[in-house]
Chain A
Amino acid sequence: MRFDRVEARQVTKIYDRHRALHQVNLSLEKGQVMALLGPNGAGKTTLLWMFSTLSTPTSGTMHFGELPPDRAKEARGQIGLLSHSALTYGDLSGLENVAFFGRLYGAADPVGEATRLLEDFGLKEAQERPAKTYSRGMLQRLGLARALIGRPSLVLLDEPFTGLDRASTRTVIDRVHQLRQEGAMVLMISHDMETTAELADATAVLVRGKLEGVHQGRLDTHALRARYAELTEGKKEAVA
């Protein structure tokens, strides 16, 4: 079931006695790339988990298209997630990994689609090798291929450029542009201001679990840094 809007409404998340998110309101529309910025420990990854449905709010609701909040888990097949780790099996080859998840997502031709994705991400030569032999950058691209095998409506990227060289970074940037053109929503956590400025249609800044501001529209690197500094100054560590 594809959806063209996601929204967090008054979302609060409390772990034990620690409040990771406090009454966050955030929405993404079809074809939008949103950058989620904030200092370490701001709650960015927690919010990403909320959008992935793998974590549920302590209070507030998550909305995926027309689905009622209590049926949010039905959106799972339409969400692609790239986490800090690739979420792949080290003893399976790159191709086996992506094809395995393709089968779980009901792909018509899992091996064919996996092969095409791996080729897109420059992993064709290495596709038969066990994933445990991949470099950090290769694993990151493999994780992205895995995340996209289900043709998701919502793509969640947690630091997607970590460990990537310039060429791989360009590959990922181009893919995010393509996802936008295809109408997917992309929510991306990144500390890389230049790449964020190039990709983001909107920017949200989270500090200590509270959404300090959402800017709709593009910002160049300079304006993005200034905006970030303005919202985070004196509240937590400075931007890297």
Chain B
Amino acid sequence: MSPERSVFGTLVDAWRITEKDLLVELRTKEIVLTMGYFGFLVVLIFSFAFFQDGATISSVASGILWVSIAFAGTLGLGRIFEREREGDCIRALLLSPIPRPSIYLGKALGVLIFMLVVEAVVVPSVYFFFNLDLDRTRAGVLLLTVLLGTLGYAIVGTLLAAMLLRARTKDVLLAVVLYPLILPVLIIGVKATGILVQPEPVWNELSLWLRLLGLYDAVFLVASLWIFEPLLLD
């Protein structure tokens, strides 16, 4: 990290990159629309697949929510660095005096925002199609679970998308390397959401899963900031 830039400066630079990605997305709408459309379709298809005796099976809702988030997220990750590759803009970013972690954080924040926008469609869809009955507390904890899980997904996914920036078969490779690494996020997400949709949630168990999710996010964030710079050399 460049010594003359403070942590605050790093965050400001990161926000500038996110801001640029948001501006481009606002104009093209290609990432969020594609992800949102795909995520909604996954939920819709599964709601028909798990329709029995005049109603959907709500116990599978947690799995379907996270499958939908994971698949839609992969679509977004594939595109987020593609924009830097087109026109070779990544070289201009790398040549600028901003610390490399700013580039990583800026892109990861962009992924997080895009995914949260998509989840604003996917989560209510799951709620609606799978007839979930959540009170205000459980709905709040569900949002916290989704936020922590999405954060982990964005942290790891952005790193891998950057790693595969120059790979020819990056679309295939991304899924191959991403899913084993985010498996803990998906498993914890499914378990925590599963607890929340039960009539009597086991709060202690839920708390353990959420702490594990937070730990995963913290560990991978630190590791990603460490790895990102050498990853982009040459």
Nearest A residue (CB) for B27: A91
Assembled-state Cα–Cα distance A73/B5 (Å):
14
| Residues of chain A having any CB pair with chain B under 8 Å | 52-56, 73-74, 76-77, 79, 81, 83-92, 96, 100-101, 103-106, 130, 146, 150
* Chain B residues with CB under 8 A of A96: 23
B91 engages A87 (CB within 8 Å): yes
B53 interfacial by beta-carbon distance below 8 Å: no
Q: Mark B1-24, 1 if CB is under 8 A from A, else 0.
A: 011000000000100100010011
Residues of chain B in range 45-64 having any CB-CB distance to chain A below 8 Å: none
A91 engages B96 (CB within 8 Å): no
A81 engages B87 (CB within 8 Å): no
Nearest B residue (CB) for A78: B97
A86 engages B23 (CB within 8 Å): no
A91 engages B28 (CB within 8 Å): yes
Expressed in whole angstroms, the minimum distance between the Cβ of B81 and any Cβ of chain A is 13
Expressed in whole angstroms, the minimum distance between the Cβ of A87 and any Cβ of chain B is 4
B13 engages A86 (CB within 8 Å): no
* Chain A residues with CB under 8 A of B200: none
Q: A56-B234, A89-B24, A100-B16 are in contact. Are A77 and B91 (CB under 8 A)?
A: no
B83 interfacial by beta-carbon distance below 8 Å: yes
**Of the residues B27, B87, B88, B92, contact of A101 by C-beta under 8 Å:** B92
Q: What total count of A-B pairs have CB within 8 Å?
A: 71
B87 engages A85 (CB within 8 Å): yes
Sampled A-B contacts (8; CB under 8 Å): A73-B2, A76-B94, A76-B96, A81-B92, A90-B87, A91-B83, A101-B92, A104-B97
B233 interfacial by beta-carbon distance below 8 Å: yes
Assembled-state Cα–Cα distance A173/B233 (Å):
32
* Chain B residues with CB under 8 A of A88: 87, 89, 92
Assembled-state Cα–Cα distance A56/B23 (Å):
33
B95 engages A54 (CB within 8 Å): yes
Assembled-state Cα–Cα distance A104/B93 (Å):
8
